[in-house]
Amino acid sequence: MSSKTKKKKQPELNDYDKKWNNPMRKPYLEKVVLNIGVGSGGEELERAATVLETITGRTPKKTLSRKNIKEFNLRKGRPIGVKVTVRNEEAVELFKRLLIINNNRIKRSSFDDYGNFGFGIKEHISIPGVEYDNLVGIWGLDVMGRVVRPGMRVRYRKAHKAKIPREHYVSREETQYFLQKFFNLQVVEKIEREY
């Protein structure tokens, strides 16, 4: 049997700790992106922007429609939502606040093979430190996060872009293990809502 036909052994959880002794292999939480899709512009969009600003303390950016969809009255290039990206230590603190809502649980199907994960929040007022405002109302939002290793900037920088080998991406299992270890996260098959 040649070495090419051998199956790769799946790493055990303790193997990740051994890999992480190398500082270029140790993953970290790169960013957290909060998104509210409104579907139209105007006053509704401004209220959604106010919600994201109260949660993060940053000015949100408007997202634009990419297509013309006559049934939904959408025109290409018009604002239909708002999003804000938080990085570094602020992202870690924000992510800890947002995890409390789901009792530190995320569904297993919410992870991909490149270190990305996401979950939804039904009501923004359930986030600790956010109070109900009668003028704004109650909004739901999407939370997306990304776990990467040092050196991923090489792929996205403007000058001298380079490809990243597949093994430098953070796998689904490694992302789950990283979040379990540093954020006390539980990966579950199904989240039961408590009302």
pLDDT of 41 > 90? The answer is no
> Could you tell me the two tokens for 119?
């979950």
The predicted model gives 134-160 an average pLDDT of: 92
How confident is the model at residue 78, as a pLDDT? Answer: 86
The predicted model gives 103-124 an average pLDDT of: 93
pLDDT band at 1 (very low <50, low <70, confident <90, very high): very low
How confident is the model at residue 5, as a pLDDT? Answer: 52
One-letter amino acid of 143:
V
pLDDT of 4 > 60? The answer is no
pLDDT of 2 > 60? The answer is no
Beta partners for residue 117, in sequence order: 111, 145
CA 42 to each of CA 35, 38, 46, 154: distance values in angstroms, whole numbers, following the listed order:
17, 10, 7, 39
pLDDT of 9 > 80? The answer is no
pLDDT band at 193 (very low <50, low <70, confident <90, very high): low
The predicted model gives 88-112 an average pLDDT of: 93
Specify whether domain 14-188 bears CATH 3.30.1440.10.
yes
| Lowest mean pLDDT across 7-21, 40-54, 87-101 | 7-21
At which residue do the structure tokens 């490694």 appear? 174
> Could you tell me the two tokens for 185?
């996260």
Domain locations along the chain: 14-188
Percent of the chain with pLDDT over 70: 92
Specify whether the CB–CB gap between 186 and 107 falls below 8 A. Answer: no
What is the pLDDT of the chain when averaged over all its residues?
A: 87
Give the Cα separation of 1 and 5 in Å (integer): 7
The set of residues, in sequence order, having a beta carbon less than 8 Å from that of 2 and lying 6+ positions away, is: none
How confident is the model at residue 130, as a pLDDT? Answer: 86
pLDDT band at 109 (very low <50, low <70, confident <90, very high): very high
Q: Which of 185, 122, 116 is nearest to 145 (CA)?
A: 116
